[in-house]
Amino acid sequence: MNLLTDSTASLRWRDAWRAYWHDDLPRFLHIAKVAMAVTLSMGLCMRLELRTPSTAMVSCVIVMMHQQSGMVIARGFYRGLGMIGGSLAGLVLIALFPQQPLPFFIALAAWIGVCVFCASYFRNFQSYGFVLTGYATAITAMPAWANPYGVFDTVVFTISEVVIGVACASLVSACFFPRRVTPALYASSRKNLTHLLDAIHRSLDKGVTLTGFDTFLDLIRERAGVESLRAGAVFEDPSIRLHNHVFQDLDRSFLDSVAWIHALHQLKVRVCADADARAMSAIDALIGALLAIVPNQTADAAADTPGVTLEQVEALSAGLTALEAQLPARIARSLHELADLPPPQRQFVATTGSALYFSIADLRKVCDRYIDARTADRRPWSRSVIQAIARIGRTRATANRTAATIAGLRAALAVLVVGATWLASGWVGGSTAIVAVAITSALFALAPDPAVASRQIFCGCLSGWLAGFAFNFFVLPLFDSFALLALSVAIVVMTGCYVNTFANTALLGLGFSLYFCFIVAIANPVVYNPSAYLDTGFALLLGIAAAAVAFSVLAPRAGDFISAQYLKQIRALVANTARDGDLDDDLLYRFELHLRDFIIQIASAPKDARVNRNTLIGWAFAALEIGRAMIQMRLDTAQSGDALPSAWRAMQDDWLAALADVFDDATPARAQRALDATRRALDVLPCPADAPDKPDAVLGGPLLMRFRMRALLHFTGLTLLDESLPLWQPLQHARADVSAAVSRSAT
């Protein structure tokens, strides 16, 4: 019995050890690679007799925050560009304002503010490039401000050290136990598609009702993570780089599918409440045809499959193609069989069928692009070099210009306050405080909660300062060889990097490693100066604290002012962009992308009692539904030409204006006018529901487009009447009367 117990305990101990080693082995490999890159860059800089090898060491630590080699290379690439741009900007500032404190600090603060604005406005690694451009200016300009003639040498040394650090980090990451980002990209994309297909079942299955927006928010957030991985994968995989447009088209189709699924879910809820039993049966049959071919991983959880396979997606694509071809005839037969029902009931079937048809088309595109992305190496590159460059040149940005402007002003003001304190006090280490406030203000303006992030960095800097003091003045004097120096530095850096690999303490570990390398200041030659070391550490902590106070006091991201700006720009997207934006192929994509970014920013912002996040997300989804309807209606009208009634264009203009007025100022009177305009638009646009007079009639392209236009109008009316949205609540007392009016317009 004891032997059996001992054997069982031994097996459990072995399983636990294997699990621990499986989870932590990538971490140990990563911290070993970071230590190797840091010591290699330090040794190269010392061999080349550069001034501050610590600059290269800091670059290694920062760009190797990520464990995948593609992300490291991407971050290093934009860090190099940003450092070059910031160094040149510092050279210009020193040349324009040599030894002129007031204009120099005003210009420096303004430049850093502009860079932080751009970093907040643009996305992914482009934003990181702007972050580097901002604080690299302070790094370059501040040490040379008192000696303008030495600024050129400072620029040359700084850029050289950064290039060495980036090159060492990229080479070590890519050559020693490389962890490629491409498999992570494919795995995340597979998981995201699996969740999309599961969401179709959860949204449309009979007897299942979703509440809130959590399912759709999770899909959008996951897709943003996939895009971030793709931005890094283009640096390590030529196939992804050459076929980048396939992944961008996949992103676009995915957003369209999520929007259609949400619209169908909202329609299903309304249909379940108001539809006749026969109409409901016809709608269930149409939706069931889709659900029958869509894989359901939740139902197949017992199979222990990590997600949909490529073969399943290929089969789904073929099934969707066949269903897309058959669906018009099914809709026609259903409408013919329900000829004796009142027109509003038949309109439910027609609206659901048309929405289902176009959602199937978008889902098929998702599947096709998903397949193309995995077989791109077996397919020819379908675009010219000029087209690809043009596409890459269109850098996508967020729509929240106000929040970006506030971030830029906050950073500029923090730099000005610290600069004024330095000038007023005559403090020797004040320049280091300006560098610290510039780095923190720029680097963490992009964080979901900048105040919390800056506090973690403050603790990391304090820990790195204390560790650096012990290292600099008790350990370093004992060394007589580079090998001992490299080993001791590697041990300390590995400690911080290990802490950095955990999500909850990532910024703490980053701050420890970053500021340890920065403050120890390995140089040629090393200077033993405890008082200067303490002064530098105190300046760093003061600069970080000033940035943290600015994040917490000056229009905090979780505050009601920023939320009001979010809401204002969400409404402006519909009132201006959807109504009057240039009508091209990318208008709908840009509109959806801006709203997607808004939704992600709102969802990732820290919780605050003053902010009703559900209200903001409700506004965003209402804007998504109505704005998409407005843009798609404009596109369909332009494509249909003279096939529409002569009175339609004037009616469409009135309808667009009424909806834009609602989002400009959501008063009950304006919402009522929008509902009336929707009803009149449905009256003007002939109903194709009565067109098929035979059970086997097939709805052609023009009729399907007419179905979609009427479905979009019907969706708009349902959104305006949705009780779950906070924007139309003053109208809820009149909901029944107006809903009946919208339904009667189906005739």
**Residue 741's pLDDT band (boundaries 50, 70, 90)?**
very low
pLDDT per position as a tens digit, 85-123:
888 898 898 888 877 888 888 899 999 989 888 887 776
Measured in degrees and rounded to the nearest 5, phi and psi for residue 213 equal -115, 10
The pLDDT of residue 607: 62
Are 143 and 51 in contact by the 8 Å Cβ rule? The answer is no
> Stretch 337-352: mean pLDDT, rounded?
81
Q: Is the pLDDT at 287 greater than 60, yes or no?
A: yes
C-beta neighbour count of 136 within 10 angstroms = 28
Residue 390 has pLDDT above 60, yes or no: no
Q: What is the DSSP string of 412-451?
A: HHHHHHHHHHHHHHT-TTHHHHHHHHHHHHHHTTTSSSHH
Work out the percent of the chain whose per-residue pLDDT is above 90: 14
Q: What is the pLDDT of residues 394-405, one digit of tens each?
A: 444 444 677 778
- 527 CB burial (10 A radius; 0-12, 13-18, 19+): exposed
Q: Taking the domain 560-744, which CATH number applies? A: 1.20.58
Fold for domain 181-235+244-380? Answer: Methane Monooxygenase Hydroxylase; Chain G, domain 1 (1.20.58)
pLDDT above 50 for 37: yes
Q: What is the DSSP string of 546-587?
A: HHHHHHHHSS-TTSHHHHHHHHHHHHHIIIIIIHHS--STTH
CB 699 within 8 A of CB 711: no
**Above 90 in pLDDT, residue 595?**
no
Q: What is the pLDDT of residue 459?
A: 92
Burial 684-720 (b: 16+ CB within 10 A, else e): bbebbbeebeeeebbbeeebbbbbbbbbbbbbbbbbb
pLDDT class of 604 with cuts at 50, 70, 90: low
Q: What is the pLDDT of residues 362-377, one digit of tens each?
A: 899 999 989 988 875 5
Q: What is the pLDDT of residue 56?
A: 92
On whether the CB atoms of residues 429 and 529 are closer than 8 A, the answer is: no
Helices 2-47 and 151-175: crossing angle, nearest 10°? Answer: 150
Helix axes 613-640, 701-720, angle to 10 degrees: 150
Query: 588 CB contacts (<8 Å, ≥6 apart)?
Result: 628, 631, 632, 635
**Least reliable range by pLDDT among 15-24, 175-184, 218-227, 244-253:** 15-24
The band of 704, judged by pLDDT with boundaries at 50, 70 and 90, is: low
What single letter denotes the amino acid at residue 318? Answer: A
Provide the token pair at 174.
């890519």
Average pLDDT over residues 657-676: 85
Give the pLDDT score at 167.
93
Question: DSSP alpha helices (H): ranges in 122-180?
Answer: 124-144, 151-175
Residue 559: the pLDDT is 56
Report long-range pairs for 421-428 (Cβ below 8 Å, ≥24 apart).
Answer: 423/101, 423/102, 423/105, 427/539, 428/535
**pLDDT, position 2:** 56
The residue type at 181? V
Question: 493: pLDDT confidence band, cut at 50, 70 and 90?
Answer: very high
Average pLDDT over residues 286-310: 73
> Mind listing the pLDDT tens digit for each residue in 527-564?
788 888 898 899 999 999 998 888 888 766 655 666 67
What average pLDDT score do residues 458-474 get?
92
Q: Please report the pLDDT score of residue 442 as a whole number.
A: 78
Residue range 591-617: mean pLDDT, rounded: 70
Task: Give 124-139 pLDDT, tens digit per residue.
Answer: 666 778 888 888 888 8
Q: Provide the 8-state DSSP code for 66.
A: S
Phi-psi group of 66: left, alpha or beta (phi > 0 → left; psi -120 to 50 → alpha; rest → beta): beta
Count of residues making up the chain: 747
The domain segmentation of the chain, as residue ranges, is 16-180+397-553, 181-235+244-380, 560-744
Confidence grade of residue 609 (pLDDT, cut at 50, 70, 90): low
* Alpha carbon of residue 477 to chain centroid: 48
> Does residue 245 have a pLDDT over 80?
no
Q: Is the pLDDT of residue 9 over 70?
A: no
pLDDT band per the 50, 70, 90 thresholds, residue 469: very high
Residue 573 pLDDT: 85
The arithmetic mean of pLDDT across residues 445-469, rounded, is 86
Higher per-residue confidence, 165 vs 211: 165
The span from the CA of 537 to the CA of 543, in Å, is 10
Tell me the DSSP string of 300-361.
TGGG--SS--HHHHHHHHHHHHHHHHHHHHHHHHHHHHTTTS-HHHHHHHHHHHHHHHHHHH
Per the prediction, the chain carries an average pLDDT of: 79
The pLDDT assigned to 302 comes to 41
Q: Give the pLDDT band of residue 389 (cuts 50, 70, 90).
A: very low
Output the pLDDT for position 740. Answer: 42
**pLDDT, tens only, 309-341:** 889 999 999 999 999 888 888 888 888 888 888
Q: What is the reported pLDDT for 238?
A: 75
Q: Mean per-residue pLDDT for 149-164? A: 88
Among 267-276, 456-465, 481-490, 629-638, the minimum mean pLDDT is found in: 267-276
How high is the pLDDT of residue 393? 39
pLDDT category at 32 given cuts 50, 70, 90 is: very high
Mean pLDDT of 253-258: 82
DSSP letters along 87-134, please?
Answer: HHHHHHHHHHSTT-HHHHHHHHHHHHHHHHHHHHHB-HHHHHHHHHHH
